[in-house]
Structure 1
């Protein structure tokens, strides 16, 4: 597959995220355009600029061939940054990690210079199949990923199922929610389907013998949810030790995804229960602005630079600092060089993104100075207008 277009979806939908992770040009939310395209026609899918050209002229095709070659040259230049640290001009170090789904992504992540896996999306093990994965199947896949990262840390997010991602067997069990993204999903589903959750936690704990890993809980909205998960996790550890007394098991670091406004607002309380935060800006933006990021009718309103979103990010980072807990950003803005000055200025020191984005973001970080980025970030936080926020950020990037 060279690229694709869809009638539905937005630029921050799960389909778009997958396209970026696979390095495929894609345009979503074209609505009625597909009805006008005939089999055998030549198309240009310009995912960078959101353009579809039907039956391009020879001149246009040659122009895009030149663009493709220019991108290849740039990628070769960026590859030279692989072994260099993401270090600002004034020596601030930023950890660059990768978001992945499957073991096949490991080589790409390592070749891009990833220092670890900041987000392993485990729900893809459960989708597009007629049966749920058993413990051994999950363990084998997780073990391969942990070993493949050769001692680098791996952050495993427990299954973020529900919403627009529900296995066939569970889909039959639960009625469709009128608002799936607000319904039984992520950690809510894990606590309700405790047997299924215990199987996954068992697989994760067994894989922890082969390298450093952390467990990340999605869609946390209360302290009680974390306490419930801890009880389940301790129960699984006891069972595993009874099953195999020779296992040297300890509780891996436990983290909370900050992707619901409620979680950001109680971040101080959550920090007493977890070892780290991971800010998921995709869902945080969606829930803050009440915008379905997969709905092309409102996709233009999805804006992670909205002042409300930025203040929730700031609130979370300040709570993490007060409680001496690390906080990463693993949403799509982490992989966009445009946002690097803002995130570094706000105090983010760990970014996790599609591995293809690591070299471009690293390049931007290496020309930054933390002091000016911090001053610009706080000037941005003083704004109430989205356009002004964007202008301040873009002006800063243009001067680099």
Structure 2
């Protein structure tokens, strides 16, 4: 037994085997084989496995987004069944005595070039499809599995770190917790762990080696401790802590159905952050009052091409209906910076956090923006949907957004497609310029929601993804809190409400400060709802608010 140390970023204790994330991609190496028939069978087995995976993805997509949104997976199955494609790979394996992975990659390139050279736009688009199905087959041949986890039991998932496009495709039912060698407290691995309500530890460094694969471990997401092959004393200590946490959760469960109201009667909206329709289950299980942030970009990250209007509509409609009339705030596309989708073909930027991202992409690619807005407005007929726009810096951006929204609404009226004429429009306050202009911005929208991760990043000039900058990334910094206060004052002067949808909203050490500042809504991970409710119900805002404000201004 020995212990390695990292930084805990999502509390909780988990015990289970360590499993390293299998990442696909990379160069396919050509190797000679002596048994071509065995190699052809290996290809056929992989092809059949891919067919089964695509069939399962099709069924899942039909349930979530409807048949039109699932059509891509059906088309991929048909391509995998194409005799020219199959024969081409088998002929190359047999004729050159080479490994199946290399044959698949070469035939994929040939087919992709053939499709790309055709005059028909539909056929040109198939070039990406044949590459995608071939990547899937190569991944299976190479031991890379769909969902990233090939295990019969749930595991503690280990990796260097995980990109947003990787986290969205994980088989979350098999994850007990996360451990990563790199990352930061604001990485998407950490955010996913907090959404799932499972422990996570980052920054373990070189001590996290693949030699730990399969070893029994217990991790403590509060302290950052990772016990490898724990002895009896360590197991008893950590499992006792796990039992205490479960008992506390059972106690907090008694708050379900209670109001988020302070001792002096002030009500606070407590909503949840989600990334997909699947995340509605923990929202309902934890008694969330609504959705304060639906990160719609994950619909884009899990696709190989732009998601269609119908696909998006079905996803938004599903969430709206399942929330039963509670407010569902959907953030428009926030691609860029650390969230990349290859088919956007964004230029490589030296400082992507300052570059073409979020609303800047939407305003420079209006056809992509309008497709999403049409889906959002259509879904508004099925629940209380509100739309939120990220990375706002100027009033003209909001006015342009509203002009585009008016055009989309006019189109839907002309097509006699039902939608809610009074959808709330809000903006994210996550840049210093948005704070400084919040008096004018508040007159243009129905609500503000503060993204504290980015606001802290831009205010303190600290990269939120920086592995070695955690001690400088201080979301409690007086400058950040003063900006929150300024935005709240200007929101209320204009008669609109203001919330926080960043990770900071779940920090109960700041809950009383947020209420003193004037925050009306807190949107947090589902697992944080009941602890936050408990904190709110213990606060009397008439007692300390003025002192908190005085201290904030005097720091």
Q: 3-state DSSP class of the match of 1:299?
A: coil
Contact 2:378/2:417, CA 8 A, preserved across alignment? no
What's the counterpart of residue 356 of structure 1? Answer: 527
Aligned with 2:446 (options 249, 271, 275)? 275
Matched, 1:123 2:294: no
Residues 43-71 of structure 1: CA deviation (Å, up to 9, x unaligned) = 22211122223332211111111111111
Kindly provide the CA deviation profile for residues 275-330 of structure 1, in whole angstroms up to 9, marking residues without a partner as x.
Answer: 11001111101111111121111122111111111111111011111111110111
Tell whether the 8 Å contact from 2:485 to 2:517 is kept in structure 1 after alignment. yes
Distance (whole Å) between structure 1 residues aligned to residue 420 and residue 447 of structure 2: 20
Q: Output the CA distance in 2 between the equivalents of 1:361 and 1:254.
A: 26
Distance 2:520 2:399 in 1: 27
Rounded Cα–Cα distance in structure 2 between residues aligned with 1:184 and 1:246: 33
User: Deviation per CA, 1:203-244, whole angstroms, max 9, x where unpaired?
Assistant: 00000001111110001000011111111111111222222x
Match of 2:238 among 54, 60, 64: 64
SS in 2 for 1:200: helix
Structure 1 residue 42: Cα displacement: 2.7
1:13 aligns with 2:187: yes
Residue in structure 1 matched with residue 482 of structure 2 by the alignment: 311
1:295 to 2:466 alignment:
yes
C-alpha separation in 1, matches of 2:227 and 2:528: 26
Deviation at 1:2, TM superposition (A): 1.3
> Are 1:213 and 2:385 counterparts?
yes
Select 1:2's aligned residue among 166, 172, 176: 176
1:387 alignment partner in structure 2: none
Taking the aligned partners of 1:56 and 1:215, their CA distance within structure 2 comes to: 48
Q: Which residue of 2 aligns with 1:388?
A: none
Structure 1 gap ranges (5+): 385-400
Q: Which residue of 2 aligns with 1:392?
A: none
**SS in structure 2 opposite 1:178?**
coil
Distance in 1 (CA, whole Å) between partners of 2:432 and 2:458 is: 7
Is the 1:344–1:373 contact (alpha carbons within 8 Å) kept by the matching residues of 2? no
Instruction: Determine if contact 2:196/2:526 at 8 Å carries over to the other structure.
Output: no
Q: Give 2:436's match in structure 1, choosing from 265, 272, 276.
A: 265
In 1, Cα distance between equivalents of 2:264 and 2:446: 28
After the TM superposition, which residues 100-139 of structure 1 pair with which residues of structure 2 at under 5 Å, given as runs? 100-139=274-313
Deviation at 1:246, TM superposition (A): 5.4
Task: Find the counterpart in structure 2 of residue 398 from structure 1.
Answer: none
Conservation of the 8 A alpha-carbon contact between 1:219 and 1:257: yes
Q: Distance in 2 between matches of 1:189 and 1:366?
A: 41
Is 1:45 the counterpart of 2:219? The answer is yes
Residue among 139, 150, 160 paired with 2:324: 150
> Please, which moves more after superposition, 282-291 or 123-132?
123-132
Q: Is the 8 A contact 1:19 1:26 kept in 2?
A: yes
Provide the C-alpha distance between the structure 2 equivalents of 1:246 and 1:73, rounded to a whole number of angstroms: 50
The Cα RMSD (Å) is: 1.5
Cα distance, 1:33 vs structure 2: 2.1
Deviation at 1:271, TM superposition (A): 0.8
For the 8 Å contact 1:117–1:155, the answer to whether it is kept is yes
74-83 or 102-111: bigger deviation: 102-111
Any idea what SS the aligned residue of 2:512 has?
helix
The 8 Å contact of residues 345 and 376 in structure 1, kept in 2 or not, is answered as no
Q: Which has the higher contact order (CA 8 A, sep 6+)?
A: 1
Mapped to 1, the partners of 2:471 and 2:439 lie a distance apart of: 33
1:20 Cα offset (Å): 0.5
**SS of equivalent to 1:43:** strand
Matched, 1:54 2:228: yes
**Distance (Å, rounded) in 2 between the aligned partners of 1:34 and 1:248:** 51
Aligned pair partner of 2:249 in 64, 75, 83: 75
State the 1:128 CA deviation.
3.2
Residues 343-379 of structure 1 deviation map (CA, whole Å, 9 limit, x = unaligned): 1121112111111100001101111100224134214
**Structure-2 separation of matches of 1:190 and 1:336:** 32
Distance 1:175 1:17 in 2: 26
Corresponding residue SS for 2:471: helix
Q: Which moved more, 1:67-76 or 1:248-257?
A: 248-257
> Rg: which structure is higher?
2
Cα–Cα, structure 1 residues 379 and 51, in superposed 2: closer, same or farther, change >3 Å? Answer: farther
Deviation at 1:251, TM superposition (A): 4.5
Q: How many residues align?
A: 381
* 1:39 to partner: Cα distance: 2.3
Q: What's the offset of the Cα at 1:248?
A: 4.9
1:342/1:373 contact within 8 Å kept: no
- Deviation for aligned residue 1:17: 0.9
Deviation at 1:88, TM superposition (A): 0.9
Structure 2 spans left out of the alignment, 5+ residues: 1-174
Secondary structure of the 1:328 match is: strand
C-alpha distance in 1 between matches for 2:335 and 2:425: 19
Helix, strand or coil at the partner of 1:277: strand
